Structure 1
Amino acid sequence: MPAWLKRFAREMKLQLRVLYLASRDPRTPLVAKLVLLAIVAYALSPIDLIPDFIPVLGYLDDLILLPLGIYLAAKLVPPELWRELQARAETEPLSLPKSRRGAAFVIVCWLAVLALVGYWLRRCFWTPIKRPLASQEDPGLELSGGF
C-alpha cells in the first residue's frame, strides 16, 4: 500500500474521531451536530451507498462522500472548538458506545429501504403471465376418466 494512502487513511480516522467528539460536545451548533451524526453513521455503518464488492465504484463513494462530509462538518463547527477537539482526539483513545437498540434501528431502516426498492422493482418490471381460465380453454381437450 502506498505511503500517501496510509497517511490519508490515518488522517481520515483522526477526523472521524474529531467528528464523533464534536457531535457529543454541547458547544457544537445543532445543524453541525446533525451533519456530523450523519457522516459518522455513514462511515461506521457496515452498509454502503454502493457496496464495496463492486470494483472501483464500491470505494469511490467512500473516497468522495466522506472527505466532502468531513469538510462540510469542519466548516460548520466553530474553528476554536474544532482545534480543541482535534488535539483531544490525537491524545485520547476513543471508545465508541455499543447500543443494541441503535444497531437494531439501523438494520430495520436498511431492511425498510430494501423492501421499498424490491416493491418498486416488482411494480416496474414484473408482469404476471396471463393464462386462460379452464372454462375458456378448448372444450375438446376435456380429460376423460381413463386413468
Structure 2
Amino acid sequence: MTGKSLSERIGDLGHRLAVEAHAAWLAARDPRTLWLARLLAVAVAAYALSPIDLIPDFIPVLGWIDDLLIVPLGLWAVRRLIPDPLWTELHAAAEAASDRPSSRAGMIAILLIWAGLLYLVYWSVRTSPWH
C-alpha cells in the first residue's frame, strides 16, 4: 500500500491550515483586500494563529471542534471574499515563508472571553436566590 498513513494525512492537513491562516494574516495586512475580507481575515488569522484555543483541546470532542470546523470554515469564508489572483499571490508568499506568525492579539482576546465567562458564572452564583 503506497498511500499515506492517517497521521501523515493529519500532519498535511495541519500544514495546509497553517499556510492558509498565514495567507489570511497576509490578506488582512494587504491594502488590496476589501475591508470586509480584512475584518474577517483578522479575526480568523488571530484565532487560528493564537497559541490558546477558545475550547482547550484536552476537552473531549468539543476541544477539536474549533480545529476541525471553526478555523476551516473561517478560512473558507476569507478565501471566498478575496479575488483569485490576490489569494494566489498571498498563498504563495505564505507557503514560501520559513516561519509562521503568532497572534498575541488572538491570545489576549481568548483570555478576555474566558475572563468574561468566568465573571458571568461568578455573578450568576452570587446573585442566585439559592446563594
Task: Please state which band the TM-score falls in when normalised by the shorter chain.
Answer: 0.7 to 0.9
1:114 lines up with 2:118 in the alignment: yes
Runs ≥4 residues deviating over 4 A:
102-105
State the partner residue of 1:33: 38
Larger RCO (CA under 8 A, 6+ residues apart): 2
1:67 lines up with 2:75 in the alignment: no
Contact 1:20 1:37 in 2 (8 A): yes
CA deviation digits over 1:40-76, x for unaligned, max 9?
Answer: 1222334433221111221123211111011000001
The one-letter amino acid of 2:71's match is L
Structure 2 runs not aligned, ≥5 long: 1-5
Partners of 2:58 and 2:103 in 1: CA distance: 27
The one-letter amino acid of 2:48's match is A
- 1:44/1:114 CA distance change after superposition, 3 Å: farther
State the partner residue of 1:84: 89
1:13 lines up with 2:13 in the alignment: no
State the partner residue of 1:24: 29
Q: Give the match's secondary structure for 1:2.
A: helix
RMSD: 2.6
- 1:104/1:98 CA distance change after superposition, 3 Å: closer
- 1:69/1:97 CA distance change after superposition, 3 Å: closer
The count of aligned residue pairs is 125
Partners of 2:100 and 2:14 in 1: CA distance: 19
- CA-CA distance at 1:86 after TM superposition: 0.9
